Structure 1
C-alpha cells in the first residue's frame, strides 16, 4: 500500500491487487468488490439494474478475474471511497469494449489506430462515492490506473465512457480521445456511452505529469489478495460508516441533523476551512461517515462572479477573467479556497467563497439600490422576529436582501398541513418548529448569519433574553404573533428600550410602523387600545381575544372579505383566512420599512395600506 500525493492537499491511500480465478478466497473477495461497485453505481436509484432482488447491490462481471483492482481510501483503515479496474491483454476476449463493438470491429479499430490486441489494456469501472468526488479521489484513481498500465507495458488503453455526467470530458483531461462513430445509448447505464482511446507513447492531457509521477509508486502500492480481502472485509455499505473514523462530535452532528421532526432539531450549519488542519481532519471524517448525501462545488463559477462583480468590464474578455481568478487564488487550489459548509438537516456539503467575498457577490445585484457602505451597515444590525408564520416571509426577505446580520426568532408552534397555503415549506417539514424551519432556510441563503431561536415562543421567562443581551438591545422588532398579551408586552419592552416595531396585518396590505426609537412616549398601537396594558390581556376568552385583535387592526378599515369571514371563525372557518400572496406582500412591506429605518431614511410612525385590489383597479391603469 502507498500514501501517494494528494489532490489539492487531500491525501489518499491506494492499494492495488490482482485476482486470479481458482485461488483460495478469491470468490468472496470478488463478491465484496462487486458489492462496492454496485452500491456506488446504483446511485440512490439512478441505475436500478445494480440493485439485487434481495435489496443488496451487485455488479457481476466475469472479467474481474485476471484484472488489476485499485481501491482508494482516506487512510489505511478507512472505508473504500472509490474504485477503478485495469484489464490486461490476457483477458482481452472479455473486454467490455470488445463486447460493445463486436470482436471484428474491435480488432479492426485497434489496427486502424496502429495497435495490436496483445499490447492494449482496458480501463473500466471508475466509481467514486459522492462525498469523495469533489475532493479529487476520482482524479487520482484514474491517474493511478493509467500509471499502472504504463508501468505494465501497455502501448494503448481503451475503455467505454459515459457522457451524462461529463465522464468522457473527464477522461479527455488524461489524454483519452473519443473514437468517432462509437457513441450510443446503453440501457443499463441509462445514458449515452462512447469508446475512448489512450496512447501511452504520447502523454497528453493536463494530468500527464501526475501520471508520470505515479508510475514510480505503483510497485509499492501492490498488495496480496489476502491483504486486500482483510481490508475489504471491513466494508459492507452502511455498516462501514458506523465502524470507521467517525469522531463522537461528528456522530452527534449527524444524528441531530437527521432528526428534523423535533422542535429542538439541528438548524446551524458547520463550517470547514481546509487551510486549518483541525477543520480538514473533521471534514474528512464527516465524508468517511457516509452522512454526506450531496456535494455541491461551484466555487470556480463563484470566483468568476467575484472578479466580474468587482470589475464588470472583465466580462468582455474570458482571458482577463481567467487571469483575475488566478490572481484571486494567489497560488491556492480551488478546493482549498473558501469554506465548505455542512448542512446536517439535508446532508448537503456546499463549497462557497470566503464569507466577505460570498456576501459581496450575493448582494452585488443590490447595488444601485443599496450601496456597499449601506450593505455593511445593515449586516451589522440585529433584528427580532416574533411569529414565524407571517413573520417567516419577513425573515426570509430580510436574509435575502441583507437586512440584518443577526436575528432572534421566536415561535412555539410547529408547521402543520394548513400552514402550507402560505409558508415556504414542503411536506417533509411537517411537525418542525417554525423558527427552526425559518432559521434553516435563512442559513441556506447565508450560512454566516448569527441566528438565535426561541422555539418555546416569547414568554415572561424569555422576554428579557429576546430583547437584550450582552451586546445590548436588538435594533428592530418585526411583530407577527397572534396572541394579544404578547403583542402588547413586546411593544412595552420595545418602547422602554427605544426599539422600532414594524408589523404586517396581512389584510389590504396594512403596514404598521411604531418609531419608539424616535418617539419614546408614543402610545402603543397608535393608542387604539387606550391605556390597556399587557397584564390586562392575560387569560382572555375567545370572544374577548377576537374583540381586542379587531380593535388593534381597526375593524372599520378591514377588507370586505375579512369582515365577512370573522363571524364564521370557529363555526365554518377554522381560523383567520390568509393567502400566500398577502404573506409575500407583508415580507416586502416590512423589509422596505426596516431597511429605511435602519439606514436612517424617512419612515415615520403610522399605518399605511398597499391595497392591491385598489392599486390595480381599472381606473389606475397608466395606459388607455
Structure 2
C-alpha cells in the first residue's frame, strides 16, 4: 500500500503542478481511507519490479467514502444516481488512475482502465462513477470507455489545480470503443486476481475453502444478474465458470406456477398451466427468465422471479389484511433501525411482511455467543457485525431490497446521513447518547419513532410527524440533550435508563437485575420470546403509521403476565 500510495502521489504531484501531494518533509503523500476495502490493480514490467501504473476500484461496501460522493455532497450524489435510475448499492467507483511518465506510450492507462471497468462488470455493478480532471483531456479519455460527463458538476478543485467533473458509466450501454478490451478483462478477472490478497469486502471471488474457513465476515450485498440482458448474461457465465458457486437453487418453474395461481386463484388445482407459462416466459427460456441472485457469504446462486412478480407472489398471502395498494405504499417507504439485537427482530419482520422497500441499519457491535439466546443467527456468524447479519437475512428474504448499513453504529459523524429521508425510525440501541440524539434529529425532521423495551411488552410511539414539539420520551427525562450525555458515569447511565423506561412500571425481574449488574449479571436479562414479541409489536405500529391508520403517541404494554391468567381464560366456560 505504501508503494502504490507513493506512486500515486508522485505522479499526481507532476513535478510541482499539484503541490498538495508533497508533504513538508519532502515525501509524496496520498493517504486515503478509501484504500481500505478496495480492489487495487497494479501494473509492473516484471512480477517483482516497481509499479508502472495503478488504478483503484471501490465497491458499494465503502460507498460512504467515495470521492464522487464527497465531491457532490450526499444529496447531490444521490440525485445523480437517481436521475440515472440506479441505487448506491449498484454503483462502483473507479479512481486514482496513474501511469509513470515513461510508460504512458505503452497504452498502459487504457489497459488499467479496462481492467477496473471489466472487474466492476464482473462483480455485478449496474453503474460506475468517478471524478476526472479536465486540463489534459482526462475526461475525454474516460468518454472513450463509455463514461459521460454529468452536466453541472464541473468546478475548480484546489488540490488538483484544475477543473474536475463527475463521470458516469452505465454498464448496460457498454464500454464504447474499448468494449472488446473491457470484455476480455472482465472474463480474465479470476486469473488476474491475487486471491490470497483479495480484500475482505470482495469475497464473491474468493476460493471456496477460504470462505468456508470463516473469512467472509463483511460481505452483505447479493449480486443480481438478469440473463435477458447481454452484459448480465456474460457476467453470470463468468461467475459460473469461476468456481465460486457452491450451490445452485433453481425453482423458477414452481415460482411461475405460483405466480399464475396468485393472479387466477379460481383455477382448479389440476389445471394444466403450460400455455400460461409459455405466455409468461414471453419467448425466453426458463434459464433466461427472471433474476439470478448470488449470495457471496454462502456462495449460493438462486433463481427468482423478476422484481414485480417476485413481490406479488411473496406477499400474496398478505392479501385480506394488507391489500395490493397498501403493499405498494409500504414498499415505497424507507425505514431506519438502530440497534440490531432487539432491532433484528423488527427488521426481519418488516422484510417478511413487506413493510418498507428501503432500509438503513446501524449497529457497531459484533454478534457474540451470549447473543444467541435472542438473536436469530447461527454459530457460524459469531464475530460478524450485527448490521451485516441483519442485511444478509433481509436480502435472503427479498433480494430486491435497498439496504444501507452503518457498522460504526449511530455516531455524531453519521447521524444526519442516517436519519435523512427516513419515513420511520425504529430505535433499539442501548447507548443513552444514541437514543436521545436519534430522537432529537427525528423530531427536527418530523420522523416518527418507535421503540420496544423487551420488558412487559412495552411499546413506545413518538409521532414527531404529527407533534413537532413533543417532549422526547414523553417528558420522562426532562429537557436533557444528547450532548449532555456523553460523559455520564455508569451509575448515571443506569439512572437515566430507568427514567426512560419508567422504573415504576418495569417488571420485578428487570428491576431486581439492575442492582446485580457488574456483580452477578454481565448485562440486563433479555429473552428470545420478548424480542420476537417486539418485532411483532413494532411491525404492527409501523404498518399503521405508514398507511395513515390510527396510532397515537404513547406508551403501551402487552404484558403476558397480565394477559395469560386464570381471570383472562376464555375457555373456562367451555369445560
TM tier, smaller: 0.5 to 0.7
> Is the 2:203–2:297 Cα contact (8 Å) retained in structure 1?
no
Say whether 1:246 aligns with 2:190: yes
> Is the 1:508–1:609 Cα contact (8 Å) retained in structure 2?
yes
Aligned to 2:426: 478
Aligned to 2:234: 281
Shift of 1:259: 5.9
Equivalent residue for 2:301, pick from 344, 349, 364: 349
Distance 1:615 1:317 in 2: 45
Shift of 1:274: 0.8
Question: For the structure 1 residues 314 and 605, does the alpha-carbon distance in structure 2 shift closer, same or farther, using more than 3 Å as the test?
Answer: same
Aligned length: 377
Aligned to 1:300: 253
Aligned to 1:417: 369
Shift of 1:278: 1.1
Shift of 1:265: 1.0
Q: TM-score, normalised by structure 1?
A: 0.59
Aligned to 1:465: 417
- Cα deviation 1:424-473 (Å, max 9, x = unaligned): 000000000000000000000000100000000111000111011xxxx2
Say whether 1:335 aligns with 2:287: yes
Say whether 1:559 aligns with 2:507: yes
Aligned to 2:437: 489
Question: For the structure 1 residues 281 and 398, does the alpha-carbon distance in structure 2 shift closer, same or farther, using more than 3 Å as the test?
Answer: same
Shift of 1:318: 2.3
Shift of 1:247: 6.7
Shift of 1:264: 6.9
- Cα deviation 1:407-426 (Å, max 9, x = unaligned): 00000000000000000000
Question: For the structure 1 residues 532 and 275, does the alpha-carbon distance in structure 2 shift closer, same or farther, using more than 3 Å as the test?
Answer: same
> Is the 1:244–1:289 Cα contact (8 Å) retained in structure 2?
no
Shift of 1:615: 0.7
Aligned to 2:476: 528
Shift of 1:244: 7.1
Aligned to 1:409, the other structure's residue is in SS state strand
Say whether 1:451 aligns with 2:398: no
Distance 2:275 2:523 in 1: 60
Equivalent residue for 2:345, pick from 381, 384, 393: 393
Distance 2:368 2:291 in 1: 35
Equivalent residue for 1:382, pick from 334, 352, 362: 334
Distance 1:466 1:396 in 2: 19
Shift of 1:326: 1.9
Shift of 1:623: 1.2
Aligned to 2:303, the other structure's residue is in SS state strand
Larger radius of gyration: 1
Aligned to 1:549: 497
> Is the 1:262–1:432 Cα contact (8 Å) retained in structure 2?
no
Aligned to 2:518, the other structure's residue is in SS state coil
Distance 2:424 2:361 in 1: 12
Distance 1:330 1:288 in 2: 28
> Is the 2:203–2:216 Cα contact (8 Å) retained in structure 1?
no
Say whether 1:608 aligns with 2:552: no
Aligned to 1:313, the other structure's residue is in SS state coil
Question: For the structure 1 residues 248 and 623, does the alpha-carbon distance in structure 2 shift closer, same or farther, using more than 3 Å as the test?
Answer: farther
Shift of 1:618: 1.5
Distance 2:480 2:363 in 1: 24
Aligned to 1:105: none
Alignment of 1:86-485 (within 5 A): 246=190, 252-255=202-205, 265-319=218-272, 321-468=273-420, 473-485=421-433
> Is the 1:264–1:455 Cα contact (8 Å) retained in structure 2?
no
Please, which runs of 5 or more residues in structure 2 have no aligned partner?
A: 1-186
Distance 1:491 1:365 in 2: 35
Distance 1:495 1:538 in 2: 20
Aligned to 2:190, the other structure's residue is in SS state coil
Aligned to 1:59: none
Please, which runs of 5 or more residues in structure 1 have no aligned partner?
A: 1-242
Aligned to 1:368, the other structure's residue is in SS state coil
- Cα deviation 1:335-364 (Å, max 9, x = unaligned): 111000000100100000001000000000
Distance 1:315 1:511 in 2: 45
Aligned Cα root-mean-square deviation (Å): 1.9
Question: For the structure 1 residues 610 and 262, does the alpha-carbon distance in structure 2 shift closer, same or farther, using more than 3 Å as the test?
Answer: farther
Question: For the structure 1 residues 325 and 315, does the alpha-carbon distance in structure 2 shift closer, same or farther, using more than 3 Å as the test?
Answer: farther
Say whether 1:537 aligns with 2:489: no
Aligned to 2:128: none
